[in-house]
């Protein structure tokens, strides 16, 4: 059931809607401080122009989406977004809720720009329901956060060595200058206003003061920050951190909080002391102090983090802009206008054009990687073992041949690797025609390029432009299977579109998984009654009849385990592996890395079930399972699954178990969560085969809904009573 939108004119505040706004913020946004009605009301009070609308969507009488809009220009509406708001005042738990809002806005309403949407709080996957031609996504910033789930010492120990050594250098430099910093924390409501005025005075002396953008005691944004800090201070939710050198304040940071979020609102420092890095020294003190004051909460930076700031964060996520259009024709009109502007924009001013300091490298195999590329691949490996250099090396050694033309494209900027794109090149018989394909095959359950934390869509765009400049014969690109909810999926699609390719998303398969929050025995206890009973009865029966269970992790036991695995696989229903060396080589490599979990069930000296699991970086992937049907009376597959499951939960302490590929019914008996893997195909319209395939797929997208409706209508006709084919339900079918 979809909700109903209503729009209400605002008079410099949410007014009677404040309580409803806060209730939704608390219910769906964890009472975010920058989405609290007090914050939004101050934004409206100081920066509204009288044209603002509050749009409310209600489902069964209850608000489930609310946002403040302002008319941008003729036919275009946008979220109300003064520069003082790092995220828009938009309570959209799911972006899909905004898809029909244009029909309810005052005419004319052709386009809706949803600016600065925090992907940590708003689900964006629902936008797929909107025809791609009628929506557009742009990356605004990559922000960082620090969950304060442990001590400051554990947080600091996990920082990169470069950051910790830099901080030690700044502290030594301070000592060499004979300076002793004093840190002050202002948390009393009566003192907050004076602290904000000190902040304003310090910021006004810097470059912001010379450009007229500084917070001052007399300008509008100065009044706003004084009011907002006063309002939070009255609730005991405002802090000002200051660093002093003698009688001079050299750095200051404004902080607000509510519920679980601690938000950095503003920061400044004395530029005369830049070589001492007072802003960084104060930041370290602030993070330590907040760990002590508010353990378990989260620090939100809300900044477009550069490489230096990224080293402080424990998590990163994107702040995105979304444009929704009333019709696909409107989207094409706006797109044509953007292309025209880009055509008349000098290349040096166009941020999407490749820069002179960009370089594209190609490596044939992981053994050729320099140290910095190895480090980037090691970062990617933490998300999945299938993103590791070792995984790709096994694939190259056992599956790929020279005819597959495998390689790893690396984009560098100023010498630093930003992207590693593992690919292979499929060449057609026709000369000078080829397809660029993700490096993988049916063994690959998840694919993604390795991305440095600061990578943006524009960087991916530049990579594809450079690849196509080297390989103009490439008419199609295929990347799958990707996590549909990941940055990599979104950024690859948008990057290829901005590079001039025609993209089409497609569904690959469902993926069943489980987030683990309980122990192994508790996990088995929460299974269905029938499955739990089967596991316990059959385990007891197997053990009573000379059976045993084991989980091989030690490389010393591997060859024995490999022999048992091969024996079970040969006697199971599984087809022989087309690449027989892949699984043994994968097991050997995983055993070396400490990732191997080879489960075996034995009856006497006969292996009767075998399962290959990969356990790394808090994830357990169930990769291969087989059992001997001659011994199915013991349900050896289920018994062994429970055994390995308890091992990875209790011993490995994994946070997620993943069944990888497919919607097989048995998987949902064990794991209760489902997500989807999708892929991108992109066609190069500058080639004749690419243009032909794009037209073919585009026509299929246009006519497929009509064909589906026609098919449904024909089925209804065939089942209608008049056709004489109506039958009573088959009881067996419903069982």
Q: Report residue 720's pLDDT band, with 50, 70 and 90 as the boundaries.
A: low
* pLDDT recorded at residue 127: 58
Q: What would the mean pLDDT of 218-242 be, rounded to a whole number?
A: 95
Indicate if the pLDDT at residue 432 is higher than 90: no
* DSSP type of residue 273: G
- CA dihedral sign, ordered 249, 252, 257, 261: negative
From 1.25.40, 3.30.70, 3.40.630, 3.90.25, which CATH number describes the 149-296 domain?
3.40.630
On the question of pLDDT at 356 being above 60, the answer is no
State in words which class domain 358-498 has.
Answer: alpha beta
- pLDDT tens-digit series, residues 506-558: 999 999 999 999 999 999 999 999 999 999 999 999 999 999 999 999 999 99
Q: Give the pLDDT band of residue 328 (cuts 50, 70, 90).
A: low
CATH topology (fold) of 517-654: Aminopeptidase (3.40.630)
Q: 380-422: per-residue pLDDT in tens?
A: 999 999 999 999 999 999 999 888 999 999 999 888 999 999 9
**The token pair that represents 497 in the structure block:** 């579109």
Q: What are the structural domain ranges in the chain?
A: 4-143+319-344, 149-296, 358-498, 517-654
Same fold, 4-143+319-344 and 149-296: yes
pLDDT surpassing 60 at residue 344: no
Give the Cα separation of 167 and 90 in Å (integer).
38
| Encoded tokens for 325 | 């259009």
* CA-CA-CA-CA torsion sign (465, 469, 475, 477): negative
Least confident of 513-522, 547-556, 573-582, 622-631: 573-582
Interacting residues of 633 by C-beta distance below 8 A, sequence separation 6+: none
- 676 pLDDT above the threshold of 70: yes
pLDDT value at residue 133: 47
Q: Give backbone dihedrals phi and psi of 459, rounded to 5 degrees, phi first.
A: -70, -40
- Is residue 729's pLDDT more than 60? no
Average pLDDT on 600-621 reads 96
3-state secondary structure of 489: helix
Higher pLDDT, 470 or 479: 479
* Distance between CA atoms of residues 225 and 85, nearest Å: 11
Question: Given this model, what pLDDT does residue 330 score?
Answer: 66
User: Could you give the CA distance from residue 538 to residue 691 in angstroms, rounded to a whole number?
Assistant: 59
CA–CA dist 148, 314 (Å, integer): 10
**Cα(705)–Cα(326) distance, rounded to whole angstroms?**
19
The mean pLDDT of the chain is 89
Confidence of residue 725 (pLDDT cuts 50, 70, 90): very low
Judged against a pLDDT cut of 50, whether residue 174 lies above it is answered with yes
Whether pLDDT at 635 is above 90: yes
When comparing pLDDT for 44 and 339, which is higher?
44
Domain 4-143+319-344 top-level CATH class: alpha beta
Q: Which of the residue ranges 31-45, 337-351, 661-675 would you say has the lowest mean pLDDT?
A: 337-351
Crossing angle of helices 37-47 and 220-234, in 10° steps, is 160
Upstream peptide bond of 481 is cis (omega within 30 degrees of 0): yes
Q: What does the pLDDT look like over 82-131, one tens digit per residue? A: 989 999 999 999 888 888 898 899 988 888 999 999 988 888 765 544 44
Q: What is the average pLDDT across 423-435? A: 78
Q: Do residues 229 and 192 lie in contact, with contact meaning Cβ atoms separated by under 8 Å?
A: yes
pLDDT at residue 644, rounded to an integer? 97
Q: Which of the residue ranges 204-218, 551-565, 566-580 has the most confident prediction, judged by mean pLDDT?
A: 551-565
For residue 334, the model assigns a pLDDT of 65
pLDDT exceeds cutoff 50 at 329: yes
Q: Is the pLDDT of residue 72 over 50?
A: yes
Q: What is the mean pLDDT of residues 560-589?
A: 93
**549 vs 402: CA distance, rounded Å:** 42
Q: Please report the pLDDT score of residue 418 as a whole number.
A: 93
554: left (phi over 0), alpha (psi -120 to 50) or beta: beta
The percent of residues above 90 in pLDDT, for the chain, comes to: 70
Q: Place 239 in a pLDDT band, splitting at 50, 70 and 90.
A: very high
Of the candidate ranges 459-463, 498-502, 564-568, 722-726, the one whose mean pLDDT is the lowest:
722-726
Task: Check if the beta carbon of residue 314 is closer than 8 Å to that of residue 155.
Answer: yes
CA-to-CA distance for 541 and 544, rounded, in angstroms?
Answer: 5
How far, in Å, are 76, 708, 715, 719, 726 from residue 723 at the CA level? 52, 21, 11, 7, 7
Please tell me the distance from the alpha carbon of residue 195 to that of residue 203, in angstroms, as a whole number.
12
Query: Which tokens go with 356?
Result: 């002179």
């Amino acid at each position: 059931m979809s909700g109903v939108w209503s729009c209400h004119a605002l008079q410099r505040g949410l007014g009677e809607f404040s309580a409803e706004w806060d209730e939704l913020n608390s219910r769906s946004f964890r009472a975010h401080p920058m989405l609290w009605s007090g914050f939004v009301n101050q934004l409206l009070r100081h920066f509204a122009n009288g044209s603002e609308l509050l749009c409310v969507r209600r489902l069964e009488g209850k608000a489930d989406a609310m946002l403040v809009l302002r008319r941008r220009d003729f036919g275009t509406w946008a979220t109300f977004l003064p520069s003082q708001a790092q995220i828009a005042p938009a309570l959209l738990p799911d972006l899909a809720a905004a898809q029909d809002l244009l029909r309810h806005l005052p005419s004319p309403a052709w386009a809706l720009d949803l600016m600065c949407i925090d992907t940590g709080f708003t689900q964006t996957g629902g936008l797929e329901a909107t025809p791609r031609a009628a929506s557009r996504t742009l990356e605004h910033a990559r922000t960082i956060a620090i969950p304060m789930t442990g001590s400051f010492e554990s947080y600091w120990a996990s920082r990169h060595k470069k950051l910790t050594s830099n901080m030690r250098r700044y502290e030594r430099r301070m000592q060499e200058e004979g300076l002793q910093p004093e840190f002050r924390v202002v948390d009393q409501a009566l003192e907050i206003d004076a602290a904000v005025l000190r902040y304003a005075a310090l910021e006004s002396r810097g470059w912001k003061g010379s450009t007229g953008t500084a917070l001052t005691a007399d300008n509008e944004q100065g009044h706003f920050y004084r009011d907002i800090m006063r309002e939070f201070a009255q609730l005991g939710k405002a802090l000002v951190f200051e660093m002093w050198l003698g009688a001079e304040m050299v750095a200051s940071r404004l902080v607000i909080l509510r519920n679980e979020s601690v938000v950095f609102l503003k920061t400044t420092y004395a530029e005369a002391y830049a070589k001492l890095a007072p802003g960084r020294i104060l930041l370290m003190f602030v993070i330590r102090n907040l760990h002590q004051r508010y353990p378990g909460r989260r620090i939100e930076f809300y900044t477009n983090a550069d490489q230096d700031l990224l080293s402080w964060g424990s998590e990163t996520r994107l702040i995105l802009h979304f444009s929704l259009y009333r019709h696909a024709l409107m989207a094409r009109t706006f797109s044509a206008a953007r292309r025209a502007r880009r055509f008349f924009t000098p290349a040096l001013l166009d941020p999407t054009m490749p820069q002179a300091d960009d370089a594209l490298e190609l490596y044939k195999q992981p053994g050729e990687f320099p140290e910095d590329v190895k480090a980037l691949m090691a970062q990617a490996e933490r998300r999945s073992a299938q993103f590791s250099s070792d995984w790709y090396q096994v694939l190259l050694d056992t599956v790929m041949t020279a005819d597959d033309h495998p390689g790893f494209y690396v984009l560098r900027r100023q010498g630093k690797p930003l992207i590693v794109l593992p690919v292979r090149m499929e060449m057609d018989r026709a000369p000078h025609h080829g397809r660029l394909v993700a490096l993988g095959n049916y063994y690959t359950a998840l694919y993604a390029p390795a991305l440095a934390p600061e990578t943006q869509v524009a960087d991916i765009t530049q990579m594809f432009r450079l690849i196509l400049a080297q390989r103009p014969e490439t008419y199609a690109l295929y990347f799958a299977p990707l996590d549909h909810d990941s940055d990599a999926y979104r950024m690859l699609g948008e990057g290829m579109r901005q590079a001039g390719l025609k993209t089409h998303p497609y569904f690959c398969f469902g993926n069943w998984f489980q987030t683990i929050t309980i122990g192994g025995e508790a996990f088995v206890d929460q299974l269905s009654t029938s499955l739990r009973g089967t596991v316990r009865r059959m385990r007891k029966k197997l053990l009573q009849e000379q059976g045993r269970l084991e989980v091989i992790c030690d490389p010393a036991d591997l060859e024995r385990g490999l022999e048992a695995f091969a024996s079970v696989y040969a006697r199971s229903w599984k087809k022989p592996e087309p690449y027989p060396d892949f699984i043994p080589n994968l097991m050997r490599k995983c055993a070396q890395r400490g990732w191997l979990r080879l489960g075996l069930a034995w009856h006497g000296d006969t292996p009767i079930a075998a399962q290959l699991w990969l356990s790394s970086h808090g994830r357990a992937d169930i990769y291969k399972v087989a059992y001997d049907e001659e011994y199915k009376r013991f349900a050896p597959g289920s018994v062994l699954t429970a055994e390995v499951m308890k091992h990875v939960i209790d011993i490995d302490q994994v946070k997620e178990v993943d069944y990888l590929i497919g919607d097989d019914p048995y998987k949902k008996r064990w794991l209760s969560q489902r997500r989807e893997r999708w892929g991108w195909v992109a066609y190069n319209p500058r080639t004749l085969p690419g243009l032909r395939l794009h037209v073919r797929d585009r026509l299929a997208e246009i006519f497929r809904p009509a064909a589906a409706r026609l098919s449904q209508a024909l089925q209804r006709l065939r089942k209608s009573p008049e056709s004489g084919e109506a039958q009573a339900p088959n009881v067996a079918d419903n069982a």
